[in-house]
Amino acid sequence: MKAIILAAGRGTRLASEAADLPKALRLANGRPLISYVLENIDFLEPKDICIVVGFLGEKVKQALGPAYHYVEQTEQKGTAHATQYARPVFGDYDGDIMVLYCDMPLLSRNTYLRMFREHAQSGAANTLLAAHIHPIPPFGRLIRDENGQLIRIVEESACTPEEKLIDEVNVGIQVLDSQLMWAYLGQIDNDNPKHEYYLTGIIDVMVRDGLKQHVVHTARLEETWGVNNMEDLRLVEEELRVLGNRTQA
């Protein structure tokens, strides 16, 4: 098993730039956001993890040390575009690969492991983490066919009024067959309001070729929280303190 962590963001709304830090190193309860993510995927060896850095990427490397692979995203054009930067590291690997984010410190070790396990058991080309959330957040909506099969993800900005009512939303983490992922990443288009290449776009092109998709749900909604602004950070810090207190008890 391998993992690609997308960690090239600036963290503008977190005042990270003012602190001369990339988003990955923004502190939550005194620890960098990415440190929680790495702790929760500690079932993987550092050599099996590639971190995609960008803004102030050297600081990420210095903070985390040389045990991990690093690649630099020189321009940001979406999550699929960012993932492709890891191909020189893992391009020859034939197995399951997870793509995840540096700013989701509440996603648990058990959920990451469950995604790998269900992906292997299902025989899917792609496994996605989702949740049913009310009120519905501005996340991508899962679109299913008449048989209940996942056929695509529609981002909030591109949703029709009817699609905005769908409460099954994309959390963002995916596990894919690595060789299929590299083959299909180049087929994703940027026909969306932001003209970005989203990793979820791989679902569309895989479905066209009859490849199976699988969805894992998390019932613990705190796991879906990413840190994009100061209010997000406050909520996450509060939840991390609660989890820390439970662990100590």
Distance separating the N- and C-terminal Cα atoms of the chain: 33
**Amino acid symbol at 53:** V
Burial 34-58 (b: 16+ CB within 10 A, else e): bbbbbebbeeeeeebbbbbbbbbbe
| Rounded CA separation 240/249 (Å) | 14
CB 5 within 8 Å of CB 216: no
Q: Which of 13, 114, 144, 152 is catalytic?
A: 13
| Rounded CA separation 28/34 (Å) | 10
Pull the structure tokens for residue 111: 């959920």
13 is catalytic: yes
- Active site members: 13
